[in-house]
């Protein structure tokens, strides 16, 4: 009984966290990849880079108010599909997703200037969104 309640709480929490993520593009061909981009949010990353100094090159500038965007990439049909995530033309993630697979991560954005996030699969652009984050 306790296990069933715990599972219900975990699933409810996961659904609540996923709710703010909106589908960024409804014009994707069926069967390629499903891409969801969230809204830009502000985070204090300075404790992270203090604890792990090797992360500092990935998060330049003042980290006390850093904008991030969460993204999810999944595939619902058979086979594998490659993907690449770029932020202002700089590659931030690359990989492959198979049926039932899910990639969920965050990418840092520029603070107080327009930042373009592009998700591609091969030569096909799946999502191209510009963020204007101010933290």
Return per-residue pLDDT of the chain as tens, 135 residues: 443 433 333 333 333 333 333 334 434 444 579 999 999 998 887 787 788 888 778 766 667 778 899 999 999 888 899 999 999 999 999 999 998 899 999 998 888 889 999 999 999 999 999 999 888
How far is the CA of 55 from the CAs of 13, 52, 96, 107, in angstroms? 29, 6, 24, 13
In the prediction, which pLDDT does 60 show?
67
Q: Report the b/e string of 19-30 with b at 16+ CB within 10 A.
A: eebeebeeebee
The yes/no answer on whether domain 21-132 falls in CATH 1.20.1050 is no
| CA geometry: angle 24, 26, 27, nearest 5 deg | 120
Q: Is the pTM of this model over 0.85?
A: no
In the prediction, which pLDDT does 125 show?
94
Record the tokens describing residue 104, joined without a space. 């969920």
Q: Please spell the DSSP secondary structure of 2-60, one letter per residue.
A: HHHHHHHHHHHHHHHHHTT-EES-S-PPTTS-EEEE---EEE--HHHHHH-GGGGGGS-
Closest to 103 measured CA to CA, from 114, 95, 115 = 95
In the prediction, which pLDDT does 37 show?
94
75 DSSP assignment: B
Instruction: Give residue for tokens 């409810």.
Output: 12
- Contacts for 91-100: CB closer than 8 Å, 24+ residues apart: 97/33, 97/73, 99/75, 100/74, 100/75, 100/76
């Amino acid at each position: 009984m306790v296990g069933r309640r715990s599972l219900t709480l975990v699933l409810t929490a996961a659904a609540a966290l996923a709710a703010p993520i909106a589908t960024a593009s409804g014009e994707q061909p069926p069967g390629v990849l499903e891409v969801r981009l969230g809204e830009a949010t502000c985070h204090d990353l300075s404790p992270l880079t203090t604890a792990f100094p090797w992360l500092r090159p990935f998060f330049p500038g003042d980290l006390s108010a850093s904008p991030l965007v969460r993204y999810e990439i999944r595939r619902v049909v058979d086979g594998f599909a490659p993907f690449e995530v770029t932020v202002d033309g700089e590659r931030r993630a690359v990989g492959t997703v198979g049926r039932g697979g899910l990639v969920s991560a965050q990418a840092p954005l520029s603070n107080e200037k327009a930042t373009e996030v592009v998700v591609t699969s091969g030569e096909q652009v799946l999502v191209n969104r510009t963020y204007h984050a101010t933290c």
